[in-house]
């Protein structure tokens, strides 16, 4: 089945070379899905870590300091266990209460 492109409001059949280029770009995009999924997971994980940076300040005393350290370590380790947020059983660790 031929593929077409629109040029000046006219449908023109694309050439074999254009089709090959289009298919190569689609393949590259699909092959990069795992990298994009991991980047999204890291981005959200880093955001959660940033939100809890205050717990690690020297002048902050927390009664549940060990829980915060464990939570932050679990966040750092999450990309060793999961490669995507759509992986089976994925969930971010539960944040300790302040």
The whole-number pLDDT of residue 48 equals 97
For 27-81, write each residue's pLDDT tens digit: 999 999 999 999 999 999 999 999 999 888 888 888 888 899 999 999 999 999 9
Output the pLDDT for position 10.
95
pTM of the full predicted structure? 0.74
Question: Where are the strands (E) in the chain, listed by range?
Answer: 4-7, 10-13
Q: Taking the chain, what is the end-to-end CA distance rounded to the nearest angstrom?
A: 61
Q: What's the mean pLDDT in 8-15?
A: 94
Phi-psi category of residue 61: left, alpha or beta, with phi > 0 → left and psi -120 to 50 → alpha: beta
Q: Write the CA distances from 1 to 14, 50, 84, integer angstroms.
A: 11, 51, 35
Provide the pLDDT confidence category of residue 1 given band limits of 50, 70 and 90.
confident
Average of pLDDT values for 6-17? Answer: 94
């Amino acid at each position: 089945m031929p593929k077409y492109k629109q040029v000046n409001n006219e449908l023109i059949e694309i050439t074999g070379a254009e089709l090959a280029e289009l298919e190569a770009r689609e393949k590259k995009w699909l092959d990069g899905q795992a990298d994009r999924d991991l980047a999204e997971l890291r981005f959200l994980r880093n955001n959660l870590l940033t939100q809890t940076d205050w717990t690690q300040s020297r002048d902050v005393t927390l009664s549940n300091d060990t829980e915060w350290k464990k939570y932050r370590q679990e966040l750092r380790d999450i990309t060793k266990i999961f490669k995507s947020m759509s992986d089976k059983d994925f969930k971010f660790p539960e944040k300790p209460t302040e």
